[in-house]
Amino acid sequence: MQYSIEIKKTETNEVNKGDRRKRIELLKRLIVASAVVLLLIPSVLSTVALVRIRSIEQSVSDTQDMIADMYDKLEAAGLSGSELETRYSTGTVQNSEISVSSDVYMSEGEDYGTLIYDGSEGVNKTVYLTFDDGPSAGTDEILDVLKKYNVKATFFVNGHEGYEEELKRMAREGHTIGMHSYSHEYSDVYADLDHFAEDLDEVHSYVLDATGVDSVFYRFPGGTSTCRRFTDVKECTEYLDAKGIRHYDWNVSADDSVGRKKSASEISDKVIGDIERSDKSTIIVLLHDAPGKKTTIEALPAIIEAVRSMDGTELAPITESTEPVYFK
Ligand SMILES: [Zn+2]
């Protein structure tokens, strides 16, 4: 009896030891499993978060593209930024206004305008090549190309002293000389009507003294849309009207002064495409005569040749009988 009790005790001890081992093993497994779970949870959560962020980023990017595309089309159709916002909020944007496509570009604040076609409808088109911001070191090259093709254009010039020879050549070779302000400094030209008038006098004298031309054409620096951002555009246009000076915006832009630098083919494709798509009889093309605008000059032959090959389309310099083209 005593013996069997001893055996039982020993068995019980063995069983207890076995249980403890099992429990330790189980505990170990639990610890390892917990550690794995603890490590996995953040990884899974961050993966889920990453996927979600990616999808949000994609949505934002898609929306931005959509907005940029919409702005682009509206701008091409003739609505400036603030106007666009106003008209968008008041719901007056018409579908018919959203018809012209062009590259998405960012404004650098220079000569950034919108396209408003105020010319009369018709099959025959007159294309007016206009060059802003000269005279410059590139003027002679532009004049060479125009001479080669026997094309007369229009130069809206600034008060760049030292380029009087280039000005003289413009006049001598039959191009129209318009004024584009003396300083081209928005904060100065558009400070108030007195500043505007003083600047106009300066650029008028600059052209008159160099060439003898009493210029009666004006292009607002940045176009009337820029003038409107700074001051009362009506006051300025009435002042010009009173002096018998006609002002012109544009309805086709080479975009050679906005956004990234364009290649010659990008410039010519844009200009030619916009001219082809336009149903207006008066087409005023904005180009730039400014330092570093080499590709604009390189684009000219293709533009001239393409316009010449279009039926019922001619190239001409702006004259007093040229229909006005203004931004609304
Ligand atoms: Zn300009």
Same domain, 160 and 229: yes
Span 221-246, average pLDDT: 96
Q: Say if 148 falls within a structural domain.
A: yes
Same domain, 250 and 173: yes
Q: Which of 31, 56, 75 is the last residue of a domain?
A: 75
CA of 217 to the centre of ligand 1 (A): 14
When pLDDT is cut at 50, 70 and 90, the band that residue 2 belongs to is low
Same domain, 49 and 117: no
114, burial (CB in 10 Å: exposed 0-12, middle 13-18, buried 19+): buried
Q: Say if 86 falls within a structural domain.
A: no
280 DSSP β-pair partners: 121
Give 109-151 pLDDT, tens digit per residue.
344 444 444 444 444 899 999 999 999 999 999 999 999 999 9
Same domain, 205 and 294: yes
Q: Say if 172 falls within a structural domain.
A: yes
CA angle 228, 179, 144 (to 5 degrees): 130
Same domain, 215 and 294: yes
When pLDDT is cut at 50, 70 and 90, the band that residue 32 belongs to is confident
282 DSSP β-pair partners: 126
When pLDDT is cut at 50, 70 and 90, the band that residue 232 belongs to is very high
Whether the pLDDT of residue 95 is over 80: the answer is no
Same domain, 248 and 173: yes
Query: Which of 48-52, 136-140, 291-295 shows the lowest per-residue confidence on average (mean pLDDT)?
Result: 48-52
Is residue 175 within 8 Å of 317, Cβ to Cβ?
yes
CA of 208 to the centre of ligand 1 (A): 20
Span 320-324, average pLDDT: 93
Count of domains observed in the chain: 2
Select from 225, 201, 210, 215 the least CA-distant residue to 286. 225
Alpha carbons 316 and 283: distance in angstroms, whole number: 10
Q: Say if 82 falls within a structural domain.
A: no
Question: How much is the mean pLDDT over the chain?
Answer: 81
Same domain, 137 and 195: yes
CA of 199 to the centre of ligand 1 (A): 14
Residue 185, CB-side half-sphere exposure with 13 Å CA sphere: 10
Same domain, 30 and 112: no
Q: Say if 81 falls within a structural domain.
A: no
Phi then psi for residue 257, to 5 deg, are -130, 10
When pLDDT is cut at 50, 70 and 90, the band that residue 17 belongs to is confident
Task: Identify the pLDDT of residue 41.
Answer: 77
Same domain, 115 and 201: yes
CA of 143 to the centre of ligand 1 (A): 19
Same domain, 202 and 297: yes
Q: Say if 10 falls within a structural domain.
A: yes
Span 59-79, average pLDDT: 47
Domain that holds residue 31: 1-75
CA of 286 to the centre of ligand 1 (A): 10
Task: Identify the pLDDT of residue 152.
Answer: 98
Same domain, 65 and 188: no
Handedness of CA 290, 292, 294, 299 (dihedral sign): negative
Q: Say if 83 falls within a structural domain.
A: no
CA of 125 to the centre of ligand 1 (A): 25
Q: For the domain that residue 108 is a member of, what is the CATH number?
A: 3.20.20.370
Span 38-44, average pLDDT: 77
Same domain, 60 and 131: no
What's the whole-model pTM score?
A: 0.65
CA of 134 to the centre of ligand 1 (A): 9
When pLDDT is cut at 50, 70 and 90, the band that residue 10 belongs to is low
Q: Output the CA torsion 222→255→109→250 (10° steps).
A: 20
